[in-house]
Chain A
């Protein structure tokens, strides 16, 4: 589904990613772990198409299509979703209005009409119930005054609405207490299926107790230095990142 080949990327001439290779198949959950500064967030930004990063070498291929020339919104239309570590606030724009705009822009890109209002409402109702989201929450301004848990839950709600092929969860566990973490992880588990893939980017093992990965990759200094099964995460937790350096 998603293939990354020898990916090099830099920001302001400083190379951060130094040859990443990754193969993610439909139905799989991959975890990317690593110490601070290893390049984890850069990797997710580069996949999403953030133009602050320059891809100097390598390819990102989604279902056979090279994403290199695609703008971030075009990648989103193809099915790339990224849950932000720090979701931004947009005052005055409700959660509902935002997701409605996002869905209709995706439809427009595919040559479809806007989703009929009743269908939209039905979908919102279904997904908010699935993720146990209060209706009042949906009319609040996007991320404005949200707690850490609410912000992340909102990200997962948007993921549910947009139904991406590849969802990248960037440090979704940061800033969450254990209850919020459980709610968010349950949401992700409900959404994953045979036709999509999830990439979990995290510093700590604890999220992986709830979202169980098929593969764990250790990122260090812009390269994947070790790959294993879910037990690798536990081993890392025990031995620390120095072990893989």
Chain B
């Protein structure tokens, strides 16, 4: 595919097909394409990382070189050429010591377009934001308030320098470098991401939030997030993604690790809206994500996700319920339209006694898309009295899309109680006509029906996020019923 010029790109983006598909002209510094040990070293050096981190990356790279891409997901796509990707890019003006006033006005304007003006967020929503544009943090807010409580919330690069003992101790403990192809790749080349540590007994006073964006043509993004909730602490973390439009596939392979120690609780919410490709299925982001949390005794981990974007999604936020009485939850809405493909779900690994998990998955398919739920509930031999409830609902729009459910259950303990419910429904002409008759146009009717279908999950999102999520559901299904 021939490279786009900036002018062509801008023109294309004016077509408004993808509502958040605008392009911000930030001066960037980009590495040459390709991946080898020198590139890995260069990334590490660029970020002034200590030797142990460089070695850690190199080890991951060596593992990755021997691995092959997984093929088992219910998705088909042209495999990316990993030697044709640039593995590092940073907005040039970035400086961690800047205040908001120093931030590139163009960047601020970009967030305004997304409806997430930082000023507003700060004042109205009580949200501290660690914003990742491309690969490096450019604005960090609310740090002081968090500092007072001993909460560390910063970019992972900063954490590697400032809190090496924590990073060294926990990175790769929940998602090992050898875990899978994309996790290994991420471990070798991760550009930036967020780090969070909540001290013992501290309840984080605000929702922590980070917005990721891909903003450099041809650049993959490899975020790394590490979140540690020490004993008896609580944190709610929000992650939202919107990406500018692109006519070439972009690779996104993130790793998120959560550690909930005894009696701790982590709520992790995601709204994902990477560019899904155009109506013909051209372009779009490949989203291959490994997210996993480890719950110690009496701990609770709750994943909530709203997935509307990406051309191909491969993502299974999981919980390892290691401690007795630990709880894992997974609430998901996955929307696919046009030619999007999603293979997403969760793994609940019950190891401790009296562990409990809940899975609520809502898949919405439109256009010619394919939407798969894939879930594993595994009960270990020592997991006495483990409980799981799973509910997988699919909503179909039109006759050309597909919904699939692949639930796996493995139980090695006869005291386990597992329930699985699944439904498939279709938005009916009669429902649309009924809404029309009450004065509700078809597009609004679909949004209403879809929101109703997704309500159990939307209700789990923090308020301000739920509003954005609803908006995204509507945008992603526009024009899907003709």
Report which A residues bind B (CB closer than 8 A).
Answer: 48-50, 52, 71-73, 76-77, 81-82, 84, 87-88, 90-93, 97-99, 101-103, 105-106, 109, 141-142, 158, 162
Contact = CB atoms under 8 A, between A and B. Distances in A.
B201 interface: no
Nearest to B393: A91
A92 B437 contact: no
Given A102-B440, A158-B438, A92 B452 contact: yes
A90 B440 CA distance: 14
A105 B441 CA distance: 8
Contact of B437 (A52, A82, A97, A98): A82
A84 B455 CA distance: 26
B453 A76 contact: no
A50 B433 contact: yes
Contact of A92 (B431, B439, B441, B456): B456
A166 to B, nearest CB: 12
Given A72-B433, A88-B434, A93 B439 contact: no
Nearest to B458: A92
A48 B437 contact: yes
Contacts, number: 75
Nearest to A92: B452
Nearest to A109: B439
Given A73-B440, A92-B453, A106-B439, 4 more contacts: A48-B437, A77-B439, A90-B431, A93-B455
B440 A101 contact: yes
Contacts of B433: 50, 72
Contacts of A141: 452
Given A50-B433, A72-B433, A92 B451 contact: yes
Contacts of B429: 52
Given A90-B431, A92-B455, A101 B448 contact: yes
Nearest to B455: A92
B472 to A, nearest CB: 17
Contacts of B436: 49, 71-73, 76
Contacts of B440: 73, 101-102, 105
Interface in B423-482: 428-431, 433-442, 444, 448-449, 451-456
A72 B448 contact: no
A91 B441 contact: no
A30 B260 CA distance: 68
**Which one of B441, B444, B454 has the greatest number of beta carbons of chain A within 10 Å?**
B441
Interface residues of B, number: 23
Contacts of A103: 439
A93 B449 contact: yes
A156 B254 CA distance: 52
B452 A76 contact: no
Nearest to A71: B436
A90 B438 contact: no
B451 A76 contact: no
Nearest to B447: A101
Contacts of A99: 438
18 contacts: A71-B441, A73-B436, A73-B437, A76-B437, A81-B438, A82-B437, A88-B430, A90-B435, A90-B449, A92-B452, A92-B454, A92-B455, A93-B448, A93-B451, A93-B455, A98-B448, A102-B440, A162-B439
Nearest to A142: B452
B306 to A, nearest CB: 15
Top 7 nearest A-B pairs by Cβ distance?
A92-B452, A93-B452, A76-B439, A72-B436, A92-B455, A102-B438, A106-B439
Nearest to B438: A102
Contacts of A71: 436, 441
A88 B452 contact: no
Nearest to A143: B434
Contacts of B442: 73
A185 B451 CA distance: 33
Contact of B444 (A52, A77, A82, A101): A101
A71 B293 CA distance: 51
A77 B448 CA distance: 18
A72 B456 CA distance: 30
A84 to B, nearest CB: 7
Contacts of A48: 437
Nearest to B433: A50
Contacts of A142: 452
Contacts of B455: 92-93
Contacts of B456: 92
A50 to B, nearest CB: 6
Contacts of B431: 88, 90
A101 B435 CA distance: 10
Contact of A162 (B434, B438, B444, B453): B438
A44 to B, nearest CB: 10
**Which one of A71, A105, A106, A142 has the greatest number of beta carbons of chain B within 10 Å?**
A105
Nearest to B434: A88
A93 B456 CA distance: 11
Contacts of B439: 73, 76-77, 102-103, 105-106, 109, 162
Given A93-B452, A141-B452, A88 B428 contact: yes
Given A73-B441, A101-B440, A105-B440, A91 B452 contact: yes
Contacts of A87: 434
**Which one of B431, B433, B449, B453 has the greatest number of beta carbons of chain A within 10 Å?**
B433
Contacts of B434: 84, 87-88, 90
A18 B464 CA distance: 55
A141 B428 CA distance: 17
Interface in B384-437: 428-431, 433-437
